[in-house]
Amino acid sequence: MAQHKTEIAQETEEPEDRYRAPALDKGLDILEALAEREEGVSQAEIAKALGRKPNEIYRMLDRLVRRGYVIRSSVDQYELSLKLFELANRHSPFRRLTTQTLPHLRRFSRETQQACHLVVYDRGALTAIAQVDAPGYWGFGIRVGSRIGLLDTGSGHVMLAFSSASERESMLRECEESPAGYVADELISVLGQVRRQGYEMMPSKQTEGVYNIAVPLFATSDKVIAVLACPYLQHLDSMGTPSREAVLGQLKYAAMQIMAATPGGVGE
């Protein structure tokens, strides 16, 4: 009977809870909590942020320090080390993609006086893996590592528009955003237009005065792997600022140059 009850309980568990690893979850919770802090925090502060008692996380913190993921200061403050950053930069497809792309992003930025960035799809959103600032003394840019929405950004529209129907369906299932004013039919219409014209150019839904300009970057003839994007700003103190249309042309040219320079496939 006891065995039968155990089998029933296992069958009714949510799939994501069936193979729980509480110790691993606790360690990841600590890393994620520290990633939100710009300064060192105490063990008690970490425990409070996680809804735990300080003695519950002591051993896990000690292991993270010994493995080099967390630094403990002389006054018992904890902060992330650079080990996660180092591991992320060993991810060979992204490292190679970034290396292939950066020279072209720098040229684009010089010629257009605009910032630009490269994003890839990751877990229901887009993540910036490369970025170049505008050459002047001010500008607007996206930090490397930033998470960007799928439904309310030019980059997101391009990634969805140029993905296959099955890939797009999977992305939308993973997406946790609110629809940002789009109902399903409206989103389909927007994506269809983006695919037909080959790019997105739209006012930013996050920052007034900024235009999202984005184009796809293909790994093969029909497989979109990333999006090149420019948060366009009109510089009122400069007569030589290119128009949005000129910047779009330069962004398309940069994408073409990147793909032409890697005949085996971008990131391959």
Residue 234 and residue 242: Cα distance in Å, rounded? Answer: 8
Going by CATH, does the domain composed of 2-86 fall within 1.10.10.10? yes
What's the pLDDT band for 1 if we cut at 50, 70, 90?
Answer: very low
Q: What pLDDT, in 10s, does the model give residues 194-250?
A: 999 999 999 998 888 899 999 999 976 678 999 999 999 887 766 667 899 999 999
- Taking the domains of the chain in order of start, what are their residue ranges? 2-86, 90-260
Q: Which CATH architecture has domain 90-260?
A: 2-Layer Sandwich (3.30)
Percent of the chain predicted with pLDDT > 70: 83
| pLDDT of res. 93 | 64
| pLDDT of res. 8 | 44
Q: Look at residue 252 and tell me whether its pLDDT is greater than 90.
A: yes
**Cα of 212 vs its chain's centroid, Å:** 16
| pLDDT of res. 6 | 44
Sign, CA dihedral 77-91-117-175, equals: negative
Q: What pLDDT, in 10s, does the model give residues 99-141?
A: 889 999 999 999 999 999 999 998 888 999 999 998 877 767 7
Classify residue 114 by burial, with Cβ atoms within 10 Å: 0-12, 13-18, 19+.
Answer: buried
Q: What pLDDT, in 10s, does the model give residues 20-68?
A: 888 889 999 999 999 888 788 999 999 999 999 989 899 999 999 999 9
| pLDDT of res. 177 | 62
What's the pLDDT band for 182 if we cut at 50, 70, 90?
Answer: low
Q: Look at residue 7 and tell me whether its pLDDT is greater than 50.
A: no
Residue 61 and residue 43: Cα distance in Å, rounded? Answer: 8
Same fold: 2-86 with 90-260: no
> What are the E-state strand segments in 150-243?
200-203, 211-218, 224-232
pTM of the model: 0.68
